[in-house]
Amino acid sequence: MRLKFTKMHGLGNDFVVVDGVRQPLPENGPPLPAEELRRLGDRHFGIGFDQMLVVQPARKEGVDFRYRIFNSDGSEVNQCGNGARCFARFVRDEELTDKHEIRVETAAGEMTLRVTDDGLVTVDMGAPRWAPEAIPFTAKAEADRYFLVAGNNGYEVSAVGLGNPHCVLLVENVDNAPVDTVGPLLESHEQFPERVNVGFMQVIGRNEIRLRVYERGAGETLACGSGACAAVLCGQRLGLLDDTVTVHLLGGTLQVHYPYSSQDGHSGVLMTGPASRVYDGAIDIPQPSKAR
Annotated binding site for substrate: 13, 51, 71, 81-82, 164, 197, 215-216, 225-226
Q: Closer to ligand API at the Cβ: 9 or 92?
A: 9
Q: Smallest distance, Å, CB 271 to ligand API?
A: 9
80 noted as active-site residue: yes
Alpha-carbon dihedral angle through residues 141, 143, 148, 153, given to the nearest 10 degrees? -140
Q: Is 216 in the site for ligand API (CB under 6 A)?
A: yes
Q: Closer to ligand API at the Cβ: 20 or 227?
A: 227
Q: Is 226 in the site for ligand API (CB under 6 A)?
A: yes
Q: Closer to ligand API at the Cβ: 30 or 227?
A: 227
Q: 176 to each of 153, 171, 184, 212, how far by Cα in Å?
A: 18, 9, 16, 10
For 217, counting Cβ atoms within 10 Å of its Cβ (0-12 exposed, 13-18 middle, 19+ buried), the class is: buried
Q: Which of 183, 225, 235, 251 binds ligand API (CB under 6 A)?
A: 225
Q: Which of 111, 198, 211, 218 binds ligand API (CB under 6 A)?
A: 218
Helix (H, G, I), strand (E, B) or coil at 235: helix
The single residue of 80, 167, 229, 234 carrying the catalytic annotation is 80
Other residues' Cβ atoms within 10 Å of the Cβ of residue 245: 27
Going by DSSP bridges, is the β-strand pair 121-124/252-261 parallel, antiparallel, or unpaired?
unpaired
Q: Smallest distance, Å, CB 10 to ligand API?
A: 6
Q: Is 71 in the site for ligand API (CB under 6 A)?
A: yes
The single residue of 86, 167, 224, 234 carrying the catalytic annotation is 224
Number of amino acids touching ligand API (CB under 6 A): 21
Helix (H, G, I), strand (E, B) or coil at 145: coil
Q: Is 51 in the site for ligand API (CB under 6 A)?
A: yes
Other residues' Cβ atoms within 10 Å of the Cβ of residue 291: 4
Q: Which of 30, 31, 132, 217 binds ligand API (CB under 6 A)?
A: 217
The footprint of ligand API on residues 144-183 (CB under 6 A) is: 164
Site pattern 76..115 for ligand API (x: CB under 6 A): -x-xxxxx--------------------------------
Q: Closer to ligand API at the Cβ: 3 or 162?
A: 162
Q: What gap in Å lies between CA 228 and CA 8, rounded to an integer?
A: 19
Q: Is 236 in the site for ligand API (CB under 6 A)?
A: no
Other residues' Cβ atoms within 10 Å of the Cβ of residue 93: 14
Name the E strands within the chain: 2-10, 13-19, 51-57, 65-71, 76-77, 101-106, 109-115, 121-124, 146-150, 153-161, 165-170, 197-205, 208-215, 219-221, 244-249, 252-261, 267-273, 276-284
Q: Closer to ligand API at the Cβ: 20 or 161?
A: 161
For 127, counting Cβ atoms within 10 Å of its Cβ (0-12 exposed, 13-18 middle, 19+ buried), the class is: middle
Q: Smallest distance, Å, CB 199 to ligand API?
A: 11
Quick one: which of 7, 22, 85 has its CA closest to 52? Answer: 7
234 noted as active-site residue: no
Contacting residues toward ligand API, per CB under 6 A: 13, 50-51, 71, 77, 79-83, 164, 197, 215-218, 221, 224-227
Active site members: 80, 224
